[in-house]
Amino acid sequence: MKIYLDGIFYKGAGIGRYYENLLRELGRRKFYIYTLVPLKYKGDFDNEFNAMSNIKPIFVDYEKFSLKGIFWAHKILNNLKREVDLFCFPHINIPIFFEGQIILTIHDLRPFGVFWDRGFLRTEVVKYLYKSAIKKANYIVAISHSTKDEMLNIFSEINGIDKKIHVIYNSIEDKFINKELLNRNRLIRKRYILYIGSRKKHKNLERLIYAFKDLQTNIRCILVIAGKTEIEKKNFIDRLIQKLNLNELVVLIDNPSDEVLMNLYYYADLFVFPSLYEGFGYPPLEAIALNTAAITSNIPIFREILGIEIACFNPYSIEDMRDKILNVLKNREKRDRLLKIGKKRLVYFSNRKNIPRYINLFHKIIK
């Protein structure tokens, strides 16, 4: 079977990680894959995938949602119709006038809620692209039941949408499970709480930092914040840390490599993920895969994928967040039990379980 897997989000955070894993796993199963990839990442892509001769990259000198990309992607994909059985898009960037056999993945619906922080015009454009992509797709992969429920609520006017949607959970990459890139030389020597992710509004970092400040009278540790950053969000967090006199107690690591991430996960005392909204959430599962207990906010998606003991605190309450963190840090047995619970959940997020579901979906289209 020959497929197209859109790679314009390669090296992005959540969607980029999803794409890389899906491309690698389908490549290992000998699918012949065409993929569009930004030219600036050619070196990275070649290093990762050159050994797979069945993966055929098409390098383009534009990036996601660019005006240039709107024209050229349509032209390139139309030319591929003669070669390709189906087209897979990890996000909503299906060219507006493109038609084909399409599988679309929806990761979250943040532009339709209160945590979207873009301007009015951009918001309306993104909403239009969501609706256009959903209508074009033969099938839609929702990465959680929470996401599916949101879609059915927001797009209830689209005929037959309930029959289009298939829930397939994201998979944790094998390198986290197998610990193949883990460097056993500890990067952070002090005891620490770990957060990994962006600094966007819905990530709720501000309350986490206030909760950490309140912890200082009860326990000695530092807070490590690592992830991809946007300049304005970075400056806001920097100012808050300075305002609270936490410069010596908070370590900021921008754009860490996977090797650094694994080291941070492995040696952390506790991973904390305080999000107000997510479509899925890789980091707590990656932490658990690397033998670190995690606790998260009790929003619907985390209750779904992690269970109520891990998804345990009210993300709007600094006091509840502080108390739950303190309770786990001071109780080794509690940490061990949470880790054991988390390990049992990992089976739902493995390539062995989820990749065959994609293949079954492919065969629903290519009969």
Outline which parts of the chain fall under CATH 3.40.50.2000: 2-171+350-366, 175-347
For 70-120, the pLDDT digits (tens) are 788 999 999 999 999 999 999 999 998 899 999 999 999 999 998 888 888
Coil vs helix vs strand at 129: helix
Question: What is the third-level CATH fold of 175-347?
Answer: Rossmann fold (3.40.50)
Q: Give the pLDDT confidence score for residue 229 in this predicted structure.
A: 74
- Among 62-66, 189-193, 254-258, 342-346, the range scoring the smallest mean pLDDT is 62-66
Share of the chain above pLDDT 90, in %: 81
| pLDDT reading at 324 higher than 70 | yes
Q: Give the pLDDT confidence score for residue 233 in this predicted structure.
A: 54
Average pLDDT over residues 221-225: 97
Question: What is the third-level CATH fold of 2-171+350-366?
Answer: Rossmann fold (3.40.50)
For 224-260, the pLDDT digits (tens) are 999 987 655 557 899 999 999 999 999 999 989 989 9
Contact 131, 167 (CB under 8 A): no
| pLDDT reading at 322 higher than 80 | yes
Q: Give the pLDDT confidence score for residue 231 in this predicted structure.
A: 58
Greater model confidence, 181 or 68: 68
